[in-house]
Structure 1
Amino acid sequence: MAEIKAPVFPESVADGTIVEWHVSEGDQVNRDDVLAEIETDKVVLEVVAPDNGVVTKIVKQVDDVVLSDEVIGEFEAGATASDAPAAKEDSAEAAPKQAADGGEPKQAAAPSDSEQDHKDQSPAVRKAAKESGVDPKAVEGSGRDGRVTKSDMASPKLKADASIKSDSGRPVAESVGERTEKRVPMTRLRKRVAERLLSVTQETAMLTTFNEVNMKPLMDMRAKYKDQFEKRHGTRLGFMSLFVKAATEALKRFPAVNASIDGDDIVYHGYYDIGVAVSSDRGLFVPVLRDTDRMSMADVEGGIRDFAGKARDGKLSLDDMTGGTFTITNGGVFGSLMSTPILNAPQTAILGMHAINERPMAVNGEVVILPMMYLALSYDHRMIDGKDAVQFLVTIKELVEDPTLLLLDL
């Protein structure tokens, strides 16, 4: 009999919470099948089957808190499902024996309504229910026979039935006339994000400086070479790769922006690990591109594409998001025109990209319509002087407006 253990958490993660078991006791699984998911303060981790066999016992249930490398279940390698139901056979033999002793044999209990509802729900629906805290029974289903689908859980239309409760015992849908409201518990990940953002605003001297960049040269370059780029490198040419390369060059020129504060010490990093914010159904994650000074634009585009896929599928690891000396976030993909991004502690600066809009600009005494983007740099004034922050942002602006400067190292 082998043990199923929680992953080994890094020092910065104290514990995790089991958010879902994908299997039940007695289920036969193959090597590397996902058995359970554990949510930590930073990421959701998967526990996979160590070998082909049968899950014989689940020790830790959903919502239980587990420690690093703690046993959460038991597993019998090489077994098959037909080997597992020994306990069921024993219980089946027990009924006739009880009758022989003069007692009435007990009939197997019929599944309860909640158990039947659970069986009728697909794994995707059950997973969405765990993530959102919304009981599928409270959602109006659009599927066959009124069944709830994954898309229903993504944008739930709640039934006005206050008798339906969440796992916490509180109603998830309360009727107020023709209107409804729902109450769902925050996920562990969302709580941690909230705590970190609040601590940053309270513990840093954060300021934001703005500038605007003419995106026409970059857009023209992309339109000219995007097909050749994709054919050669197997990935699409986007705007983010040039911003990453421009930020890397600016970090070389302004080392304070690439530094961090550790107590009373300033730590100057001799490498360039840039975090790129990506969005998913579970929230915002910041995986890190390592040594961006050694990466080509194709490497950057490929790395960002891989991170986006991992975030969408819940496959980002702690290693993907550990470290980072600078962060770039792009609210423009959602239509944001201007914002003040919050620092990703312990980093001391973050670059915010925004939507590209055509605006009338004065060029050589004439009014010209150009595609413009606002850039924002939030920085910790304890570490970075205003002069350096402004010049850092101007450097990025100049490099983006004239990409040849990067190629010529000017």
Structure 2
Amino acid sequence: MGTKEFKLPDVGEGVAEGELVNWLVEVGDTVTEDMPVAEVETDKALVEVPSPYNGTVKELLAEEGQMVPVGDVIITFDVPGEDDEESETEETATAADATAEPAGDDEAATAAEAEPAGAEAGAEAESGDDEAETPSGRVFAPPNVRRLARELGVDIASVDGSGPSGRITEGDVRTAAEADESDTAETADDAPEPRSVSVGDGESSVSKRTTDGETATTVESAARDRTLAAPATRRVAEEEGVDLNAVPATEQRDGEGFVTAEAVREYAEAQRQARQAEVEAASATTDASGVSADAEAGGAASAESGAEAPEMTAEGPVERVPYRGVRRTIGKQMEQSKYTAPHVTHHDTVVIDDLVEFRAETKELASERDVKLTYMPFVLKAIVTALKEYPELNATLDESDPDDAEILLKQYYNVGIAVATDAGLMVPVVRNVDEKSVFELAREIDDLASRARDRKVTREEMQGGTFSVTNFGAIGGEYATPIINYPETAILGLGAIEQRPVVQDGEVTAAYTLPLSLSIDHRVIDGAVAGRFTNRVMELLQNPKLLLLE
């Protein structure tokens, strides 16, 4: 085997470093070219890093959570190649010199010795670690399909692709997984009963409370040194604080125990129940120092689960969370915007009874066309119409030459939609809003928002915006002072759409209203212009049928 180093590539334009979020492989795993080996987060994108080789993982040189500069070696592979051939040639020549046998006999002996190894390698290939045999020697499947196969425990090399040119789709992988489950169910009845093992050193026992209140104990042999499991299962084990090698294996693959996510959860729950039973049994006792036994048991439980005790300060306990990745990127962007552009926020409220009624009338038609119709497409259409009349809000202040700065009035309309995700705020961009219908915008907004929450939106899809919208009303807010997505010059915040008391024709009535919060860069936009822009947006939202004329 020849050793190959793999350096962290530039996973985004101009990126200097990335956080290695998750390894998708372990030492000893067989990988194929283009197979994802790690997840790396940089700027606001989470990307999969594929292997450039066919081979075996030799060493992982970075820890999960570590910031790695672009160009640093993060992993090495053992790759079959010229080194193998040279090594075999040298060994053959050495053996020939030592025994003084004819070269032909020695080659025959070498071939005989190599045959079992070749057979063994063939068996490993059949086990699913190698690629499917295609003319090019590669499996045709995109990274998301490969990830799904790993999570479902499917050998992607054995899956027949139904896509163009034999490309494997998610449907193909799910079908294969269902077939595997069916085969497992058919053979389950013939499986031998689990044998009973006494608990001893190095053995793991799991207590599980049954429905009748009694406690049953499942005992597995000594903890394994290595366990096969999908990356998603390993993440579940980390979240539950469980040693994956101690979880009873649900099946065997290649002679190694294979564990599913469900097995990990059951094991973790059984451990929690067992610890709780111990705490309850000892809760009445207290040692001479006045420390209760249940507190001791609780401390032991924390140690077993791998949870770290909080750091103690003079004021009290604290937890340290690394400030990096998406959160750090958001912070730097907000800092630059707030300290560069003088912010002014204009607040107003628009009555949208007609828009609420119009959307309700249109939702059935949208549903027939498989469109999830929200208020956002109507808001975007109103914004773009107003931007065409007040272009200062669709601009950038170019300060590349401080002595000769310019305002760039953009004549294209790409609106960023702020999406709250588990990792922080992401702003995918809907491009050319002025050229799309309400239904087209609805589909695109739903797609971008869904992929942003799943961390599947690309870096390019979060660039090129000219104006932004943030919907804090989704969590019940009314007004805010949103920070401009610099170097844009304005951002519109939307409050919650609710029935509120308003005065109409001299009487107080209940009406659906939408609170608006428009933040502007006061270097470029005057307050009067911001007010006129907001009035135009309000006019269009009050009369939604006008949007159909745009």
TM-score band, normalised by shorter chain = 0.7 to 0.9
Counterpart of 1:153?
none
Alpha-carbon shift at residue 129 of structure 1 (Å):
9.7
CA contact (8 A) 2:240 2:265 kept: no
Alpha-carbon shift at residue 74 of structure 1 (Å):
4.5
1:210 to 347, 363, 369: 347
1:368 to 475, 496, 509: 509
Counterpart of 1:183?
320
Secondary structure, aligned partner of 1:391: helix
Deviations 1:365-407 (A, max 9, x none): 2222101121010000001111111111111111111012122
Alpha-carbon shift at residue 198 of structure 1 (Å):
2.1
CA contact (8 A) 2:11 2:47 kept: no
Q: Would you say 1:386 and 2:527 are equivalent positions?
A: yes
Deviations 1:29-52 (A, max 9, x none): 466543211111222221134577
Task: Determine the C-alpha separation between the residues in 1 that align with 2:339 and 2:228.
Answer: 47
CA contact (8 A) 1:54 1:80 kept: no
Counterpart of 1:13?
15
CA contact (8 A) 1:332 1:353 kept: yes
Secondary structure, aligned partner of 1:207: strand
Q: Would you say 1:337 and 2:459 are equivalent positions?
A: no
Task: Determine the C-alpha separation between the residues in 1 that align with 2:11 and 2:229.
Answer: 32
Q: Would you say 1:325 and 2:447 are equivalent positions?
A: no
Q: Which amino acid aligns with 2:20?
A: I
Q: Which amino acid aligns with 2:379?
A: F
Aligned residues: 361
Deviations 1:188-215 (A, max 9, x none): 2211211221222222110000111112
When residues 312 and 380 of structure 1 are mapped into structure 2, their CA distance, relative to the original with a 3 A threshold, is: same
Deviations 1:65-105 (A, max 9, x none): 4445665334559998948xxxxxxxxxxxxxxxxxxxxxx
Q: Which amino acid aligns with 1:374?
A: P
CA contact (8 A) 1:160 1:173 kept: no
Alpha-carbon shift at residue 63 of structure 1 (Å):
4.0
When residues 23 and 381 of structure 1 are mapped into structure 2, their CA distance, relative to the original with a 3 A threshold, is: same
CA contact (8 A) 2:428 2:449 kept: no
When residues 22 and 259 of structure 1 are mapped into structure 2, their CA distance, relative to the original with a 3 A threshold, is: same
Task: Determine the C-alpha separation between the residues in 1 that align with 2:435 and 2:467.
Answer: 16
Deviates more, 1:289-298 or 1:324-333: 289-298
Counterpart of 1:104?
none
Task: Determine the C-alpha separation between the residues in 2 that align with 1:393 and 1:180.
Answer: 47
- Structure 1 length as normaliser, TM-score? 0.76
Task: Determine the C-alpha separation between the residues in 2 that align with 1:34 and 1:214.
Answer: 51
2:60 to 34, 49, 58: 58
CA contact (8 A) 1:351 1:376 kept: yes
Q: Would you say 1:144 and 2:266 are equivalent positions?
A: yes
Q: Which amino acid aligns with 2:329?
A: R
Deviates more, 1:245-254 or 1:13-22: 13-22
When residues 171 and 58 of structure 1 are mapped into structure 2, their CA distance, relative to the original with a 3 A threshold, is: closer
2:391 to 235, 252, 255: 255
1:72 to 71, 74, 80: 74
Task: Determine the C-alpha separation between the residues in 2 that align with 1:336 and 1:267.
Answer: 33
2:496 to 340, 355, 362: 355
Q: Would you say 1:198 and 2:320 are equivalent positions?
A: no
Q: Would you say 1:26 and 2:28 are equivalent positions?
A: yes
Alpha-carbon shift at residue 59 of structure 1 (Å):
4.3
Counterpart of 1:38?
40
When residues 173 and 60 of structure 1 are mapped into structure 2, their CA distance, relative to the original with a 3 A threshold, is: closer
Secondary structure, aligned partner of 1:342: coil
Task: Determine the C-alpha separation between the residues in 1 that align with 2:352 and 2:394.
Answer: 25
Counterpart of 1:297?
438
2:360 to 223, 234, 242: 223
CA contact (8 A) 1:161 1:173 kept: no
Deviates more, 1:18-27 or 1:56-65: 56-65
Counterpart of 2:538?
397
Tell me how large the CA RMSD over aligned residues is: 3.9
Q: Which amino acid aligns with 1:323?
A: G
Larger C-alpha radius of gyration, 1 or 2?
2
CA contact (8 A) 2:394 2:467 kept: yes
Unaligned runs of 5+ in 1: 84-109, 150-158
Alpha-carbon shift at residue 324 of structure 1 (Å):
0.5
When residues 70 and 374 of structure 1 are mapped into structure 2, their CA distance, relative to the original with a 3 A threshold, is: same
CA contact (8 A) 1:161 1:175 kept: no
CA contact (8 A) 2:417 2:470 kept: yes
Q: Which amino acid aligns with 2:324?
A: T
Task: Determine the C-alpha separation between the residues in 2 that align with 1:309 and 1:161.
Answer: 41
Q: Which amino acid aligns with 1:72?
A: I
Deviations 1:106-138 (A, max 9, x none): xxxx99xxx9899699844765899xxx8947x
Q: Would you say 1:377 and 2:499 are equivalent positions?
A: no
Alpha-carbon shift at residue 11 of structure 1 (Å):
4.1
Secondary structure, aligned partner of 1:237: coil
Alpha-carbon shift at residue 12 of structure 1 (Å):
4.5
Task: Determine the C-alpha separation between the residues in 2 that align with 1:148 and 1:379.
Answer: 56
Counterpart of 1:239?
375
Secondary structure, aligned partner of 1:208: strand
CA contact (8 A) 2:19 2:67 kept: yes
Please state which structure has a larger fraction of its residues in helix.
2
Alpha-carbon shift at residue 143 of structure 1 (Å):
4.1
Identical amino acids, percent of aligned pairs? 36
CA contact (8 A) 2:39 2:46 kept: yes
Q: Which amino acid aligns with 2:266?
A: R
1:315 to 453, 456, 462: 456
Deviations 1:304-332 (A, max 9, x none): 11112212222111111112010000001
Alpha-carbon shift at residue 186 of structure 1 (Å):
2.2
CA contact (8 A) 1:51 1:77 kept: no
Counterpart of 2:427?
286
When residues 77 and 271 of structure 1 are mapped into structure 2, their CA distance, relative to the original with a 3 A threshold, is: farther
